[in-house]
Amino acid sequence: MIESMIQFILAGLTSGAIYALVGLGFSIIYNASHVINFAQGEFIVIGGMSTVALLAAGVPLPLAIVLATLVTMLVGLALARFAIQPAKDADVVALIIITIGASIFLRGVVQLVFGKDIHSLPAFSGETPLNLMGATLMPQSLWVMGISSALIVVIAWFFNATLAGKAMLATAYNALAARLMGVDTKWVLLSAFALSALLGAVGGIVVTPITFVSYESGIMLGLKGFSAAVLGGLGNGVGAVAGGLILGIVEAMSAGYLSSAYKDAIAFIIILVVLVVRPNGLFGKKGIDRV
Amino acid sequence: MTSMLPSALRLPPALHRHRGLIILAALIAVLPLALRNDYHYDVVINAGLNAIVVVGLNLLIGYAGQISLGHAAFFGLGAYVSAILTTTYGWPALGAMATGIVVVGIVAYVIARPILRLKGHYLAMATLGIGVIISIVLNTEAQVTGGPDGMSAAPFTVLGYTFASEQSWYWLVGGALLLTVWLSTNLIDSPIGRALRALHGAEIGARVVGIDTTRYKVLIFVISAMFASFAGSLFAHHTPTVTPSILGFIKSVEFVVMAVFGGMASVMGSVVGAFIMTLLPNVLAAFEDFEPIILGGIMMGTMIFMPKGLVPTIAKKLRRKEAP
């Protein structure tokens, strides 16, 4: 009984860690530009797929990971520069269409370059399961949780302790005031996309040995990341991480105790309930409208 | 639109209001001259069905300024109600269709009240979530819906006449589209339409001058869902099998793209957008591998270079040319 419970929590934390990274990516871009980047899931796929391809080409794993992350960041920069910046003043609906268009576009490119097959990566440190109070844990899950936590700590440090990070926060708070204080807000938009791409790529790479990767796998992961960000309150980094973990655990629990067919539905039902009770997410501030 | 007609062709005021409808009816009447085989008819029929959904969805997006990323769920729900009632329970097609429209109207009403208090991205998330939930339910309840394999509806029979040939379906869907456009045009010109436009411009402002904004948003959400259900029922009878893929997230996105590409807040734009975006994959079939790249490129390009959409942008250009 308690073993299966621990088992579900471990599974939930593993997928929750990925949702948290994707959700954090959504929040960073949202803060910098008020854009919801529906192409966030594609960063995961591009990260995972590029690593697979580089590894197959004989590049050692650590180098392949670094190169794949850089490739994904370049894609993120290109997206910001050529699709988001030209449409800076468009309204919410238009920006949603642009990023959905970008995700379809990138999915097409991935399918063209890497094909439609499902790929995997070898686990970073073997496949021998660890035993934790009667529950089994794959070493790769530890990698997922460890690297995600490390990234989240680094991101928190970046925003709270570096000048660049503070400049990005200032832009999120009041873009005009930030510009008047000498912050280059164009640079902020580009860095936000690069940073989100980095989070997505690393998340995609560490999780590929567990969940595999195909050109299509970004859709659901992107939606889950978006859900995590909304659950925690859009633009709230801590909220996105909490939202991701809650989502992961709830999903694993409902798959285990209720029905695996309905696990995705249950996640969305919870989000709807949260939105109805707290329209700005669990940790979001109340918005004020102006005429 | 006025400017698109030479001044000699200017219509009397009563007809002038429905000039779009008249042009559309004329196009529907002559289009069969260009259709060579059943495949052509099939593509155009599906374009017409999509157009019905998009005209309704555009009332919500273009006039009420609310986004829905879950409208395919209403289309699919209508299709499944028709398929289940006519096949499993032997209901007459029109009765099943009417039941579908009522059921979807009620579902939309129940979810609209809490959901439409949300704004922008939160609303997008909520409608997306509802779409995903309905799609998962239909996928999972296989004993009722056939699960992933889907199910088929009985032939569409009205007063003893069965619509079997593609030609008969063409006229049926053409008539249904004209009905939808006529209803929408009337709605937009009614006090409800004016209230909706006020709501899009400035919701707080509209509320201050005494417009019950929530009531109107709910109303238009329900109406647009019912249009989708209507099209879904027709689709169920026309297609060989109704499968859950017709109500997925991607399908919802396609509907939004059609509305936005054709032109927000433009009934004719919705029709044009639906036709072009339905025909496009068939035209691109030869470059199958490039289809998503081209589709995504069009979505981004339209929003960047003509954010108002195709029909309003062209209409504006023509008007400017004509002005002295």
Record: contact A101-B300, CB cut-off 8 A = yes
Q: Is residue B297 part of a domain?
A: no
Q: Is residue B259 part of a domain?
A: no
Q: What are A247-258's pLDDT values in tens digits?
A: 999 999 988 888
Mutation for A interface: B116, B132, B280, most A CBs within 10 A:
B132
Q: Which residue of B has its CA nearest to A278?
A: B118
User: Tokens 């468009």 sit at which residue?
Assistant: A90
Question: What is the pLDDT averaged over residues A184-200?
Answer: 91
Tell me how many residue pairs between chain A and chain B have CB atoms under 8 A apart. Answer: 142
Domain count within chain B: 1
* Chain B contact present for A90, CB below 8 A: yes
Q: Which residue of B has its CA nearest to A225?
A: B125
* Chain B contact present for A78, CB below 8 A: no
Q: Pick the closest to residue A236 from A178, A163, A158, A172 (CA basis).
A: A172
Of residues A98, A268, A289, nearest to B132 (C-beta): A268
* Chain B contact present for A29, CB below 8 A: no
Does the pLDDT value for residue B323 go beyond 80?
no
Mutation for A interface: B140, B144, B303, most A CBs within 10 A:
B303
**B residues 44-103 near A, CB within 8 Å?**
61, 65, 67, 69
Q: Is residue B36 part of a domain?
A: no
Q: What are B178-205's pLDDT values in tens digits?
A: 999 999 988 888 888 887 777 766 667 7
Looking at residue A248, its pLDDT comes to 93
B136 lies in which domain range? 42-248
* Chain B contact present for A181, CB below 8 A: no
Looking at residue B267, its pLDDT comes to 87
pLDDT classification of B2: cutoffs 50, 70, 90:
very low
pLDDT classification of B15: cutoffs 50, 70, 90:
low
* Chain B contact present for A271, CB below 8 A: yes
Q: What are A79-119's pLDDT values in tens digits?
A: 999 998 888 777 777 888 899 899 999 999 999 999 888 88
Q: How far is CA A3 from CA A12, A131, A253, B172, in A?
A: 14, 11, 13, 61
Beta-bridge mates of residue B161: B158
**A residues 106-125 near B, CB within 8 Å?**
106-109, 111-112
Q: Which residues of B touch A91 (CB under 8 A)?
A: 307
Q: Is residue B286 part of a domain?
A: no
* Chain A contact present for B144, CB below 8 A: no
Looking at residue B257, its pLDDT comes to 86
CB atoms inside a 10 Å sphere around CB B3: 15
Q: What are A196-239's pLDDT values in tens digits?
A: 999 999 999 999 998 888 888 888 888 889 889 888 888 888 88
Give the C-alpha separation, B288 to B283, whole Å.
10
Q: Is residue B75 part of a domain?
A: yes
3-state secondary structure (DSSP) of residue B158: strand
Q: How far is CA A245 from CA A17, B104, B148, in A?
A: 6, 34, 30
Give the C-alpha separation, B137 to B131, whole Å.
10
Q: Which residues of B touch A269 (CB under 8 A)?
A: 129, 133
Looking at residue A267, its pLDDT comes to 76
Looking at residue B1, its pLDDT comes to 44
pLDDT classification of A290: cutoffs 50, 70, 90:
very low
Looking at residue B101, its pLDDT comes to 96
Record: contact B203-A98, CB cut-off 8 A = no
pLDDT classification of B10: cutoffs 50, 70, 90:
low
Q: What are B84-137's pLDDT values in tens digits?
A: 999 888 889 899 999 999 999 999 998 888 887 777 777 788 888 888 888 888
Q: Is the ipTM of this complex over 0.85?
A: no
Q: To the nearest whole angstrom, how far is the Cα of A109 from the nearest Cα of chain B?
A: 7
Q: What is the mean pLDDT of chain A?
A: 87
Lowest-confidence segment of A9-13, A20-24, A286-290, B115-119 by average pLDDT: A286-290
Q: What are B145-174's pLDDT values in tens digits?
A: 888 888 888 888 788 788 888 889 999 999
* Chain B contact present for A262, CB below 8 A: yes
Record: contact A98-B122, CB cut-off 8 A = no
Does the pLDDT value for residue B9 go beyond 80?
no
Give the C-alpha separation, B52 to B81, whole Å.
18
Looking at residue B125, its pLDDT comes to 81
Lowest-confidence segment of B55-69, B132-146, B195-209, B225-239 by average pLDDT: B195-209
Q: Is residue B224 part of a domain?
A: yes
Of residues A87, A276, A291, nearest to B202 (C-beta): A291
Q: What is the mean pLDDT of chain B?
A: 84
Domains, chain A, in order of start with CATH, read 2-277 (1.10.3470)
pLDDT classification of B273: cutoffs 50, 70, 90:
very high
Does the pLDDT value for residue A291 go beyond 50?
no
Q: If residue A135 lies in a helix (H) or strand (E), which one and from where to where?
A: strand A135-137
Q: Is residue B154 part of a domain?
A: yes
Sequence letter at residue B80: Y
* Chain B contact present for A265, CB below 8 A: yes
Q: Is residue B145 part of a domain?
A: yes
